Structure 1
């Protein structure tokens, strides 16, 4: 297996937009046969923007069954060869040929051809053939240099027009002078041409004795041409590559001719530079015509009409000024390393710090890890954060900068993820004023390791201006052993790539290690290697607080009183203001009597709402947020309640003195109060009722769900239900009698 070719690398040479339907299907069959995934086929297919249909690859994939003559990886290998790829072994065993590519270790990829937008080619407003041709000659030649050109043609059996050897006996200066004296008659200067065929000109000077490579006197220019791509895309890629182009000419048909400055000292250097030039162009999406390498090659003559279309100069002197400057730029841009800086250069002019994303916690473009155990509502907290950033509001008491967010959902099915966002908005009571700021990338069942996901994410997000990318959860995309420092360093480096390429913050979610967490520091709780604690710029950790019976009763009373106060404020505010004291506002019995007396017609509605509130209070959990920050001072622990589906900061201070499991003094942990059988039975009954209410969020409650929630076996759950007598079990489903 080690020697098998990476088919995904080979597919980088194959543009799906050039394939017909059957060839596209063959690629999918070959990938499946060789053990790749439908997501690999889908990702490659998405490069064909006009024909790509989301989900089509996954439907087709299921229909690919084995056969006696399967489509194998050899099909993709041959396609890659047809589009310019050559195996290293095929080159190593023979002498280099003119058509070989010289490629080092660098990728030399400057642009992503799949995302580049086409650039329009505009015809000259005032057509002046003499001016077109004069400009071309003045741009490329010295007055004393001989110019080769062809206006006469011959026709093949299939009707194709081909140029003859043409002429080479006049200098650029002589031709320019003749053009000025021609009164616009190009035929009087160059000879009449066939308007169906057009005319040609050579871009390198000749010795006046012929038109072969040995007749070239200076190796100034090379021709870059692609006749199998969209014209506007050719134009855009040529410019994005910043090639040192002397003249850019429209051929009058389906290609652009870029006359690129090579300035080679001799023929050997010319060959090496053209090899390098073509290699860079191919790797950046130009389907180069390899036959144009020769220095004596013909190009299209501007100022000529061909089948009713004009051959004209699109532009001159664009890109880098010369070969050396461009070559150095290409090498440097693939270096990816910054130059060392001297502190004295910046001491009195320090660069601005990145602005905050979460004020006091995280800066824009930085990384944050949220860690916590199951049932902490980490996903809900990240959805709350997405909404907080999108709306420019607070998240758990911290102000958020407003901007666009990409939420990468790796765990939930699409419908559940979308519903959660709506549920959280409703529970927060916020108007969805900026829904356009939230994009959700649903990847359940389609996720790949992070080192493969990162470039796909970067490509899709490149022009979206996301201020934050939230990845939930990361165990779905882990690459390697989470306890291995070097493997996790490689994994977390992918987040750096996303931050650097997109300029956005990356926020990701991970689980706690097993066992009690209360006695640990926040940075030591995340599962796996210590890299998880050291890598992020901000680590937000959630640890559960133990709710006592007294605290639960206090929260119940507070919630009930709050409901009654709300009803009095709404339906009889004067009574509330005159008859209800501050002590009454905190006493359930007093508030009940006030409601009965002041608004008896609303008592039933108030009591129904009280019942609903009590159910929520009894299943809510308490949590403490602690943090380790790189850019900001350490913040005081934040206590909060998780009341499905949102978290709410404990403003009253009820949780301030509550200790997480394992955080109490040793003598307190070791002391256990002896309980009577009656007390234990009561606790089991209440625990079962609370678990049933919590699991009742789903459509039905099962024994398995209760066991997972309570942390006991299904057998024990069945015994508790039998003792309780108010519940029934039917084939694993649980309900109230």
Structure 2
């Protein structure tokens, strides 16, 4: 069955995994209504590996009767996912197709004609055998017509002719014919000439369904001078197998299209005709069919010879010609002279993040697990939405899209609210933040990019944040060319939307302290060299002395604030500067100045503050920038769920992990089993305290924070003994 619009091809634009159950059923109903098969529906449904059930399509197929769902449903779905029809109506095979002014290679008004010359020696058998040898395998059946009939107005038209003889058989008989073509093919009318089909047949007929290989298409134009037809076909580098003079006013080009099936043949012929029309050849659109007749070389027609002008000219095959046409008609800009702009330079793109990134440019955040990269990106989204500072840099206020590929929807929404609260910001402009939750529904980046662009064109985002990219990574991350193709998708998004694209990637394994920031990202160096700004996080080693110092500072600060609040006169008279540096001295003053019930609250507050000090980690953010000068490294604390800059300078002289001198690296003390167990227990306790937001801790949140698998977390919980797990929730057992 032939369809005006092939719905199976349109389904290439529709991802079954993105549809709900009813939408999936509607596709099946539409296919049945339009005369397709259950196999077509099932083949498409297999693309949703998570929900596909073998045989389910066939079971439901029989019940699809009189539902009113037509092929227009599929057409609309395809349009919503990026497909656009080539014209304003459904195309029939004989419709003329028009496109935009692409693929223009030559100007027919300026091209010089190329003369056609008859063969000096007329050898009909040689003409025809050359044609057969060029286009057919010896075992392929050839269709030809020598018998004609005449219309009322005197025009000669071909009959169906013959189709049951092979090229090898015809060549052998022609070579034995003594130059008498008629003795082999049957006599033809010299006023009408003769015809031959250029695609092989199955020996059973001459319809499209009888074509066995879709090798060639016919290009013919009879509305311009022969010499110009010849010149344009050659200038277009058409992959022509045989070029034939029709004996009248046109040239027949038998063009290699090398299609795998009928549908591909139709698409390639449409493309071929479109290119020819745009370059001055007014193609006869009636010649599209693969079973079409063309003029047979080696015969005469009304006193003129039908002969081969040339064979195997232009590009050697369809693929090379198609690539050449596409390459000539790229959309790359022309080179520009600097003198044209020296005194009138174009404006630079406005900044998105002052001193780091311009709007429309790309930024990569790289770092190890537990660095809080996702939290940092959420902090950035909020800073852009509210027009606030991100870490140390002021952001331009505007709309931002956060593409969430990893968290479930509820967790992602809660995380934004938690970060807002931890930053102490009012949600005055949360309408500037859109979240696209794609966990479990991700597709490779080259498929995701056009979907993202289509959904975002009218949203005026100034930034798109993609977190994390490993979920949509295509190809080998260590392959430079494959990763270049991958990162090109970010360029497409930035160019189409005019927005910045910000994404995060993980560090390679091993110590990172001794490496440059550009060398820390996992995989090909393309990751680090592609973005306009690379922000890299590396962990700082916190010593026991520094930890104790921070705990003391937290305690003394709370004591001082509490004493001032309850008895400012006492503080002013009795608490000296040296006392304010001593926990024991401040504790003594607090006991004297604060009532016991209030003192108990202060002690509880201090205990909570010390826990927060113990669970936080220290980080240094460095950068490699393309548009701005290098900035001084910024030191900060990650105290779940936000990063806070170290304004005091406590972390200034601390070296990143792995930056120890060589003599220390070579003599690292191996930890005993007891030390490892103790470290694991402490790690679990720190992670639990860190994740205890809203009073609930999950196995997944612990796994993410600790950078280990949920199975490892479960094992450590069991070994610790002070925690319980129930349906993915983790809690602390009550004290006995």
Identify whether the pair has TM-score above 0.5, normalized to the shorter chain: yes
1:99 corresponds in structure 2 to 95
- Retained in 2: the 8 A contact 1:568–1:576? yes
Describe the shift of the 1:542–1:594 C-alpha distance in structure 2 as closer, same or farther (beyond 3 A): same
Structure 2 residue 54 is matched with structure 1 residue 66 = no
> Which of the residues 397, 402, 414 maps onto 1:407?
402
Of 359-368 and 682-691, more deviation after overlay is shown by 682-691
Write the distance in 1 (CA, Å) between the matches of 2:382 and 2:727.
40
8 Å CA contact retained: 2:368, 2:537: yes
Does residue 655 (structure 1) correspond to residue 651 (structure 2)? The answer is yes
Distance in 1, Cα, partners of 2:725 & 2:360: 52
TM-score by length of 1: 0.57
| Partner of residue 210, structure 1 | none
Cα–Cα, structure 1 residues 380 and 102, in superposed 2: closer, same or farther, change >3 Å?
A: same
What residue is the counterpart of 1:669 in the other structure? Answer: 665
Equivalent-residue separation in structure 1 for 2:615 and 2:657 (angstroms): 18
Q: What stretches of structure 1 of length at least 5 have no aligned partner?
A: 41-57, 109-266, 276-330
Counterpart selection for 1:522 from 491, 506, 517: 517
Alpha-carbon distance change, 274 to 613 in structure 1, aligned in 2, over 3 angstroms: farther
- Deviation of 1:424 after TM superposition, in Å, equals 0.4
| DSSP 3-state at the match of 1:446 | coil
How far apart are the structure 1 equivalents of 2:703 and 2:94?
72
1:105-504 matches, within 5 Å, as: 335-504=330-499
Secondary structure, counterpart of 2:56 in structure 1: coil
Pairing 1:709–2:706 present: yes
1:699 aligns with 2:692: no
Structure 2 CA distance for aligned equivalents of residues 676 and 23 of structure 1: 63
Aligned counterparts of 2:469 and 2:623: Cα–Cα separation in 1: 19
Deviations 1:281-334 (A, max 9, x none): xxxxxxxxxxxxxxxxxxxxxxxxxxxxxxxxxxxxxxxxxxxxxxxxxx99x8
| Residue from 646, 651, 658 that aligns with 2:642 | 646
Partners of 1:562 and 1:671 lie apart in 2 by 40
When normalised by structure 2's length, the TM-score is: 0.57
Does the Cα contact within 8 Å between 2:590 and 2:599 map onto a contact in 1? yes
The reply to whether residue 26 of structure 1 matches residue 29 of structure 2 is yes
Partner-residue secondary structure (3-state), 2:364? strand
Counterpart of 2:632? Answer: 636
- What CA distance in whole angstroms lies between the structure 1 residues aligned with 2:23 and 2:679? 69
Match 1:615 to one of 603, 608, 611 = 611
Q: In the TM superposition, what is the alpha-carbon distance from 1:274 to its structure 2 partner? A: 13
Distance 1:664 1:340, change over 3 A: same
**What is the CA-CA distance between 1:377 and the residue it aligns to?**
0.7
* Unpaired stretches in structure 2, ≥5 consecutive residues: 1-6, 32-37, 65-69, 105-276, 286-325
3-state SS of the aligned residue for 2:610? helix
Q: Number of matched residues?
A: 488
Cα offset for 1:483? 1.5
Q: Aligned residue for 1:238?
A: none
Give the distance between the partners of 1:703 and 1:475, measured in 2 at CA: 18
Which residue in 2 is equivalent to 1:585?
A: 580
What is the aligned-residue RMSD (CA, Å)?
4.9
Cα distance, 1:626 vs structure 2: 1.1
Cα deviation code 1:187-221 (max 9, x no counterpart): xxxxxxxxxxxxxxxxxxxxxxxxxxxxxxxxxxx
- Aligned equivalents of 2:456, 2:364: Cα separation in 1: 21
Q: Secondary structure at the match of 1:455?
A: helix
